[in-house]
Structure 1
Amino acid sequence: MVGNLLLRGMIAGAIAGILIFAFARLFGEPLVDAAIAFEEATAQAAGTAAEPEIVSRAIQAGPGLLVGVMAYGVAVGGLFALVFAFVHGRFSSLSARGTSAVIAAAAFVAIVIVPAIKYPANPPAVGSSDTIGVRTELFFLMIVVSIASLVAAVAIARSLAARYGSWNGAIVAGVLFVVFIGLVEYLLPPINEVPENFSATVLWRFRMTTLGMHMILWLVLGLAFGALAEKRLGAKSGLRPAYR
């Protein structure tokens, strides 16, 4: 059963990958080109040689982008299916579609929104090569803390539900999650390496486009996988599958 769901998760991830590729080609790549042009102009003005192009932009924006987003989508789709197999029927009476939608929404918040508030995505020409290691570590630390906090919030909500009701328990857990995440993001060091003369419009549009790509991924996983899983498991709400 888990293998069957895993396959469906990978199929949903592949569908998401195709849509993300089309979205990135249309909206993202022109912004990357603008950022690269800024970087080259800055290097030329400073009298320094531009970095050698190991892979051409045509390959990066075409086959390279397609392979990258497809591999990412399929991998995340597989992991999504495994999480669904563990959660569905054990923690709520939601249908397969409902469970899938809730998992996707929670993942979008924990993996995308929360880290992006502190460390938003940046295009080429933004960020120093000397700090890339630190920036990467802080970003993934924020993801780990966010996921762990969300899991803890769910556990708190379930614990409080028996005594104060599901709605009150969810509100308290949600408030605790927001307060804790806010404290963590306040304590973590800020990173601001945007050049003063870099286009604010390009930066904003790049970050919104990146957010849109992630939104497509989790929206498709939540809806497409939910439909595929429900077709396999049956639409009866509250059905607890015996995964083996």
Structure 2
Amino acid sequence: MMSVSVRALLVRGMLAGLAAGVLALITAYLLGEPHVDSAIAFEEAHSHDHGGGGEELVSRTMQATGGLATGILVYGVALGGIAALAFCVALGRVGRFGPRATAALLALGAFTAVFLVPFVKYPANPPAVGDPDTLDQRTALFFLMIALSVLLVIGAVILGKRLAPRLGNWNATVAAGAALAVAIGLAYAFLPAGDNVPEGFPATLLWEFRLSALAVQLVLWTGFGLVFGELAERLVVPKAARERQPDAAVTPAA
């Protein structure tokens, strides 16, 4: 394999994150924003009933356009860079996978560890859901769950690799997966709940909002895995080797 610098992969990871962020932005705007508008309407009606409400510091139009775009694109670029660094560590060390397969597995693992596992315990909520007085606590719990999830997934991968020589790849993977499921279950059981839906909030709206949040993350990580896999493949594997074997196994990046 040709020598590949971490910097080159990092740049491609950030570009792939930007491209994936554009796809996620379109998804969020088309699927998520209508539900946000409905939730805001519920919140305003609820606050008016109690004489509440306050001055809007940022217009809703700006939130749904410039604010949404900035947040998702910056998020995509940042996660793309971090994922590219993880790709440098994983390439050639987690099995005989080529760059595209490694990128796909990395994207799947990141989606599961960074979003899906925390999401099951602390699902995304639209405006008007959750007590404002507990916002800091709920935010801290969510990031704690992300940290635990990432550490547990990394631990499961390490456990599987250590068990493989004795149990074989399949049995080691099953054992590591079972240990991961038990550990995540314990985390779910012992961490406090953070979901308090106000009385009268439409259950269908809450469900659809959470589905749209799931769709945004799924599009983001799927797009990143596909785009970065292609960019990394072109960088890591010479053209002649790609023509002979499209997803040839490679050795670790320099």
Distance 2:252 2:158 in 1: 22
Equivalent residue in structure 2 for 1:203, among 201, 206, 211: 206
Per the alignment, in what secondary structure is the counterpart of residue 197 of structure 1? Answer: coil
The CA deviation at 1:22 is 1.0
Gap runs ≥5 in structure 1: none
The answer to whether structure 1 residue 171 and structure 2 residue 177 are counterparts is no
Per the alignment, in what secondary structure is the counterpart of residue 25 of structure 1? Answer: helix
Per the alignment, in what secondary structure is the counterpart of residue 92 of structure 1? Answer: coil
Output one character per residue of 1:82-107: Cα deviation in whole Å (capped at 9) or x when no partner.
11011101232100001111111111
Per the alignment, in what secondary structure is the counterpart of residue 127 of structure 2? Answer: coil
The answer to whether structure 1 residue 217 and structure 2 residue 228 are counterparts is no
Amino acid at match of 1:4: A
Residue matched to 1:238: 249
Equivalent residue in structure 1 for 2:117, among 114, 119, 134: 114
The answer to whether structure 1 residue 126 and structure 2 residue 137 are counterparts is no
What's the C-alpha RMSD, in Å, of the aligned pairs? 1.1
Distance 2:157 2:253 in 1: 23
Percent identity of the aligned residues? 47
Amino acid at match of 1:3: R
Distance 2:252 2:177 in 1: 29
How does the TM-score come out when normalised to structure 2?
0.93
Range that drifts further, 179-188 or 234-243: 234-243
Residue matched to 1:6: 10
Q: Where do 4+ consecutive residues of structure 1 move more than 6 Å?
A: none
The CA deviation at 1:139 is 0.6
Distance 1:191 1:184 in 2: 14
Distance 2:54 2:175 in 1: 52
Distance 1:125 1:31 in 2: 12
1:233, 1:241 within 8 Å by CA — same for their partners in 2? no
Amino acid at match of 1:111: V
Residue matched to 1:52: 55
The answer to whether structure 1 residue 141 and structure 2 residue 152 are counterparts is no
Aligned length: 242
Residue matched to 1:32: 36
The CA deviation at 1:192 is 2.9
Alignment of 1:55-70 (within 5 A): 55-70=58-73
Output one character per residue of 1:91-126: Cα deviation in whole Å (capped at 9) or x when no partner.
321000011111111111111111111100000000
The answer to whether structure 1 residue 22 and structure 2 residue 26 are counterparts is yes
The answer to whether structure 1 residue 42 and structure 2 residue 46 are counterparts is yes
Amino acid at match of 1:43: S
Distance 2:141 2:66 in 1: 30
Residue matched to 2:74: 71
The answer to whether structure 1 residue 158 and structure 2 residue 161 are counterparts is yes
The CA deviation at 1:237 is 2.3
2:107, 2:222 within 8 Å by CA — same for their partners in 1? yes
Distance 1:37 1:149 in 2: 40
Distance 1:110 1:192 in 2: 20
How does the TM-score come out when normalised to structure 1?
0.96
Note closer, same or farther for the CA distance 1:120–1:242 as it changes in structure 2 (3 Å cut): closer
Distance 2:211 2:20 in 1: 18
1:121, 1:210 within 8 Å by CA — same for their partners in 2? yes
